[in-house]
Amino acid sequence: MSLQLRRKTHESVVYIDSDSAPRVMPSGEDFILEDLPIGTRVIYPKPPIKGLPNREAAIRYALNHPHDCDPLFAQLYPGMKVTIAVDDISLPLPPMATPDIRQTVIEILAEMLSGHGVDDVHIIIANSLHRKMTEWEMKRMVGSKIFDEFYPDRYYNHDAEWPEGLITLGHTKHKEPLRINRRCAESDLVIYVNINLVPMDGGHKSVAVGLCDYESLRAHHEPQTIRDSDSYMDPARSELNHKVGRLGKLVDEHMNVFHIETAINNRMYTGALDFLFKNEDDFTAFDRMKFETIRRTMSKLPRAARRKMLHAMPAQYEMIACHAGRTEPVHEKIIEKGFDQYAIPIKGQCDILITGVPDISPYNVYSILNPLLVQVMALGYHFNFYRGKPLLKKGGVLILHHPCYDEFDHNFHPSYIEFFNRLLPETRDPFILREKYEREFANNPSYVEMYRRGNAYHGAHPFFMWYWGENGRQHVGRVIAAGAENAHVPAMLGWDRADNLTEAIAMARSHMGRSAEITMLHQPMIGIADME
Amino acid sequence: MAAAAFYDLEGTLVSTNLVHTLGFYAKNQQGLFRTFKKSASTLLSIPIFAATDQYSRKVFNDLFFKRYKGESEDRLRFFAEELFEGVLKPAIFPGTFELIEKSRSLGLRQIVVTGALDLSVTPLMKYLGIEDYVANRLEFVNGVATGRLLPPVLAAATKASWIRTFAEREGLSLSDSYAYTDSMSDLPMLSVVGHPAAVNPDMRLKQTALHHDWPILNLK
C-alpha cells in the first residue's frame, strides 16, 4: 500500500504516507500546518514554465506577426481614432511586480501610434461592473510615463452606468443584447491588451464583457448559464463561453479589434513565500525557518495588518507567450499555452475535497475577502478548476479552511452587505434572487453613485458572485467550513462548520464513509485538474 | 406602492450651508456701513453657530435665524435669484444631477427636506427640476422678518415626522423609499426609510453609517 502510494503519478501529485510531513495551508490571512490522513492525495501547482527572456521583443514580434490580420503598423494611419482597452486590477492575482505586462505593451503601442501620426488615443480600463481602479492603482499598472501623458482625460475607467458613454451594438440571434463603451465602438481601431491567468479570461470576454453595461452582462451572468457550464474554466464545455462567443461575433461585425493576449506562468511568489509551492517533504531547514518566521510574525499582527502585508507582496509572474491579431485565433494559442502551464493530469475523483482559501481573489485586491467572496472562491473558482469532470464526486464533501469572518469593505463592496444580511436569510435560490432582487440592487441609486464616483463594485455584483458558485452548490453534497470563527456566516451560506480540519475530516467521513478518498488542493494554486 | 427619494439639501446636494446664505444677505445690505456691520457680526458669529450646531440643532436654529430679524421680505425675495446664480448654482455637487436622474428614472418622487429658507431655495429647486420640497419659513410681520421661524421648524426629528406624515398622505411606501443626508442631526430622517444613505458625511454620521452598513456616497 505504502509503496503504491509513494509511486508518483505526476510531479504535482503527492500522496500522504505514514512519515509524511504536515502540509501548509492558507486560511484567510494565516498559514496553518495540518496533518492529513494517510492516503490523502495532495495536488500542487505545476512548476512554472520559464518566462520569455525578452518580453519587449516577444511583444513586438507578436504585433508584427499577427494571426489572421495585417500587422498593427499596417493598420495605422494619421488622424485615426484608436482606443486601447486593458484588463483591470482583477488580473493577475496578486497584482504583479512592476513593470506590469500592460505597461510594457502600452509603452510599445504608444510609441508605435505616435510614430504613425495617431494622436487621438484613449486608454480605457475594461472593468465592466468591477470597481473602478484608484488613481494610484492606475499609475502602478501602466507606469508614470504613460500615466502622466494620458491621465485623467485619456486614461480612465469604463463606466457601465454612463448612458451617454454607451452605445447599443445590437442583439445576437439568441436575443442577447450588447451595449458597449461608445468610445470603443466609435474608434477606427480598438487594441485590447490582455493578461490571461485562467482559461476563463481573455478571448471575446475581454471586449464583450469588459466594456459592456449591466443589461448586457445579465444575459449571460445568470444561474442557468453557470449550471450549464461544465466547467467555466473549460472553454469548450462552458455555456458562458459560448454565449460570450456569440457576443464576440457581434463585436467583430461592428468593430475592428486587434487583440493582444499574453499568458503568464504561475510563479506567484518567490523569496520569502516560495515554500508555499513546495512539497513539504522536501522542505529544507531554510524553508521551515521561513515558514515559521512568517507564521510567528503573522500571529503577532492584527488581521488588518496581516492583510496589508500580504497585499503588499507583488506576484513574480513572467510572460510565457504573447500573441496578437484577431480575437479567436489569438485566444486559441494563449489558452493552449495556459493549459500547458496549468493542466495537471488527475486520475479518479475524490469523495472529500479539501481546500484552504487564501486571501487572494479577483474581487478583493487591497480589500477584505468577505463571506460572499469566500463562497465564490471555494464553490466557484476552486471547485471549477477542472477539465472533463469535477475533481470531487457528485454529492461529495467540500472542506474549505477559512475564518469566515463577518467583515465587509464599505467602500468596495457596499451592496454585498445588504445582499448577505437582507437576502440570504430569505433565500439562497439564485433564480429567486435574480428575479426578485437583482434589478433592485442594480438600479439602487446609492450603489450606482458609489460605482460611478467611488470605487464600489456595481450593485448587482454580489448576485453574480452567488451565481458563480451555483454549479459547485449543485454538485457538492455538503460544505464544511473548517476554522470558521463564528457559526452564523457558514449557516447563512448553507454550510456546516468545524473548529479545525481534523474535526471537519471526521464530519466528512461520517457523511462519506471511513474509506472516503480525500484530495487536497495545495493552495495558493492556479491549476486545472485534467481529469481522465 | 409608490416610493420617494428624500434629500437633505445643504452639504448633501450642494456644498453651501445656511451660513453662506446668511453671509450673502449680509453682504447685500442697504448702504456700506450696514453691509460692513452685518458682515462683521455674521463672521464673528460663526464659531458660536458651529458650537451650538454641535450641541443642538434647535438651539442653533433659534440663534441663527435671529440674524434675519429686521430684513424685509421684498429684499430677501429680490436677492433670491442672485443668491442662486452666484452662490448656490456653482455649489451644486457634480454627482447631484446623476443621483437625482437615476433616482427619477426609477419612478421615485423627488423630495427635498431642508432646514434652509424657502425663499432662498426656490430657484435651486426649479433648476434641479424638483417640485416637491419643504423648507423653513421665516415669520414676517408687516413684511419684516421677526427672526423666528414658522412651525414646523424643520430640523432633526421634525424632518422625520414630516416625511412620515407626507408619505402617509401621498400613499408612499417608506420601506421602499430612499433618504440622503450629510449630517448626524438628520439621523431620524435616515431611520424612517428602507434605503438610507450618508452623503459626504461628517465624522459622526460616517461612523454611524459604517455601524449600520449604510452606503456612503461622495457626490463631490
pLDDT tens, residue by residue, A491-511: 999 999 999 999 999 999 999
Quote the minimal CA–CA distance from A497 to chain B in Å: 25
Q: Which portions of chain B are predicted below pLDDT 50?
A: none
Q: Which amino acid is at B70?
A: G
Which of A414, A417, A453 shows the shortest C-beta gap to B219? Answer: A453
A448 vs B contacts (CB less than 8 Å): 98, 102
Q: Is A197 exposed, middle or buried (0-12, 13-18, 19+ CB in 10 A)?
A: buried
Query: What backbone phi and psi angles, to 5 degrees, belong to A191?
Result: -110, 115
Separation CA A90–CA A138 (nearest Å): 12
| Residue B122 cell numbers, joined | 426656490
Exposure on the CB side of residue A231, measured as CA atoms within 13 A: 30
| Residue B111 cell numbers, joined | 423630495
Please say whether the beta carbons of A424 and A417 come within 8 A. no
Quote the minimal CA–CA distance from A88 to chain B in Å: 23
Q: What angle do CA A206, A325, A329 make, to 5 degrees?
A: 80
Q: Do A452 and B98 touch (CB under 8 A)?
A: yes
Quote the minimal CA–CA distance from B189 to chain A in Å: 16
Quote the minimal CA–CA distance from A168 to chain B in Å: 19
Q: Is A68 exposed, middle or buried (0-12, 13-18, 19+ CB in 10 A)?
A: exposed
Size of interface A-B (CB pairs under 8 A): 52
The reply to whether A417 touches chain B by the CB within 8 Å rule is yes
The reply to whether B3 touches chain A by the CB within 8 Å rule is no
Top pLDDT among A285 and A2 is at A285
CA distance to A175, A183, A247, A428, A466, per residue, from A167 (Å): 17, 9, 14, 34, 29
**pLDDT score, position B16:** 87
The reply to whether A418 touches chain B by the CB within 8 Å rule is yes
Quote the minimal CA–CA distance from A424 to chain B in Å: 16
Q: Do A445 and B218 touch (CB under 8 A)?
A: no
B95 vs A contacts (CB less than 8 Å): 449, 452-453
- Over 90: is that where the pLDDT of A242 sits? yes
| Residue A230 cell numbers, joined | 461544465
Exposure string over A427-443, b if 16+ CB within 10 A, otherwise e? eeebeebbeebbbbbbb
Q: Do A449 and B5 touch (CB under 8 A)?
A: no
Mean pLDDT for chain A?
Answer: 95
The reply to whether B95 touches chain A by the CB within 8 Å rule is yes
Exposure on the CB side of residue A265, measured as CA atoms within 13 A: 16
User: Which residue, among A422, A446, A455, A457, would best test binding to B if mutated, counting the most B CBs under 10 Å from its CB?
Assistant: A446
Q: Do A408 and B178 touch (CB under 8 A)?
A: no
Quote the minimal CA–CA distance from A413 to chain B in Å: 10
| Residue A251 cell numbers, joined | 463585436
Q: Which residues contact A371 (CB under 8 A, 6 or more apart)?
A: A404, A405, A406, A420, A489, A492, A493
Top pLDDT among A183 and A273 is at A183
3-state secondary structure of A384: helix
The reply to whether B5 touches chain A by the CB within 8 Å rule is yes
Q: Do B98 and A454 touch (CB under 8 A)?
A: no
The reply to whether B217 touches chain A by the CB within 8 Å rule is yes
3-state secondary structure of A471: helix
A453 vs B contacts (CB less than 8 Å): 94-95, 98, 217-219
User: Which residue, among A132, A441, A453, A458, would best test binding to B if mutated, counting the most B CBs under 10 Å from its CB?
Assistant: A453
Separation CA A458–CA B7 (nearest Å): 22
The reply to whether B98 touches chain A by the CB within 8 Å rule is yes
Please say whether the beta carbons of A70 and A114 come within 8 A. no
Pairing, β A392-401 against β A478-482? parallel
Which of B178, B209, B218 shows the shortest C-beta gap to A453? Answer: B218
Share of chain A above pLDDT 90, in %: 93
**pLDDT score, position A280:** 95
**pLDDT score, position B175:** 95
Which of B99, B178, B218 shows the shortest C-beta gap to A454? Answer: B218
Q: What is the mean pLDDT of residues A417-435?
A: 97
Q: Do B215 and A446 touch (CB under 8 A)?
A: yes
Q: What residue of B is the nearest CA neighbor of A439?
A: B106
B209 vs A contacts (CB less than 8 Å): 410
User: Which residue, among A162, A449, A452, would best test binding to B if mutated, counting the most B CBs under 10 Å from its CB?
Assistant: A449
Q: What is the pLDDT of residues A121-144, one digit of tens each?
A: 999 999 999 999 999 999 999 999
**pLDDT score, position A472:** 95
Q: Do B216 and A447 touch (CB under 8 A)?
A: no
Q: What is the pLDDT of residues B143-179, one digit of tens each?
A: 998 989 898 888 888 999 999 999 999 999 999 999 9
Q: What is the pLDDT of residues A364-397, one digit of tens each?
A: 999 999 999 999 999 999 999 999 999 999 999 9
Furthest CA-CA distance within chain A: 72
Q: Is A92 exposed, middle or buried (0-12, 13-18, 19+ CB in 10 A)?
A: buried
Alpha-helix runs per DSSP H in A192-284: 205-210, 214-217, 223-227, 239-254
The reply to whether A389 touches chain B by the CB within 8 Å rule is no
CA dihedral (B185, B187, B193, B197) positive or negative: positive
- HEC secondary structure over A168-190: EEEECCCCCEEEEEHHHHCCCEE
Which of A161, A443, A450 shows the shortest C-beta gap to B215? Answer: A450
Q: What is the mean pLDDT of residues A71-79?
A: 97
Please say whether the beta carbons of A507 and A338 come within 8 A. no
Query: Residue B159 — left, alpha, or beta (φ > 0 → left; ψ -120 to 50 → alpha)?
Result: alpha
Top pLDDT among A359 and A8 is at A359
Separation CA B84–CA B39 (nearest Å): 19
The distance from CA A156 to its chain's CA centroid, rounded to whole angstroms, is 22
Q: Do A453 and B95 touch (CB under 8 A)?
A: yes
Q: What is the pLDDT of residues A459-478, one digit of tens each?
A: 999 999 999 999 999 999 99
Q: What residue of A is the nearest CA neighbor of B209?
A: A410
| Residue A270 cell numbers, joined | 518567490
Quote the minimal CA–CA distance from B218 to chain A in Å: 7
Interface subset of A 419-448, CB within 8 angstroms of B: 421, 443-448
Share of chain A above pLDDT 70, in %: 98
| Residue B123 cell numbers, joined | 430657484
The ipTM, to two decimals, is 0.84
Q: Which candidate, A447, A371, A374, A373, places its Cα nearest to that of A407?
A: A371
**pLDDT score, position B156:** 82
Kindly write down the DSSP assignment for every residue of B78-145, as one continuous string: HHHHHHIIIIIGGGB-HHHHHHHHHHHHTTPEEEEEEEEEHHHHHHHHHHHT--EEEEE-EEEETTEE
**pLDDT score, position A232:** 85
Separation CA A250–CA A118 (nearest Å): 26
Quote the minimal CA–CA distance from A459 to chain B in Å: 11
- Over 70: is that where the pLDDT of A5 sits? no
